[in-house]
Amino acid sequence: VNYYTVHATERIKKQQQEEKLFFSGPAAKPAMRSLYDRGLAGTSALAAKLTREYLEHCRGEWLEQMVTRLLRHELELKAERALLGAADGVAKDTLAAEELDRALGEGVALVFNRFKSDVIVGLLV
């Protein structure tokens, strides 16, 4: 491990100073200085270009593919739900309560009893 690995901020500041010196220092070529001044050269130009390319990708191919996948998944879920059949409101509530009991088990009752004994009784005493 070298010094700049441990002190990353100093490395970045040093790189920034060296970049400014390269593009706009006394030994800089006029063409490079012009490109740098217009924001077409250097680390900031690279970051801007990468950001633009990434946004174009996200708005274009990636977004279209993701929406297609989500819509396909939604259709699959609707098809599965249709295969399960329809239930009236009371049956849905009963099934939901049973699933909740199955998923949470006795843990909820234990937490509730502990809450009653620790908090509620503590407030009343």
Name the residue ranges covered by the structural domains of the chain: 87-125
Distance CA 36, CA 22 (A): 10
Residues of the chain short of pLDDT 70, as ranges, are 1, 125
33-62 per-position pLDDT tens digit: 999 999 899 998 999 999 999 999 988 888
If one counts every other C-beta atom within 10 angstroms of the C-beta of residue 41, the result is 18
| Coil/strand/helix, residue 2 | coil
pTM: 0.47
pLDDT of residue 1: 67
Distance CA 73, CA 58 (A): 20
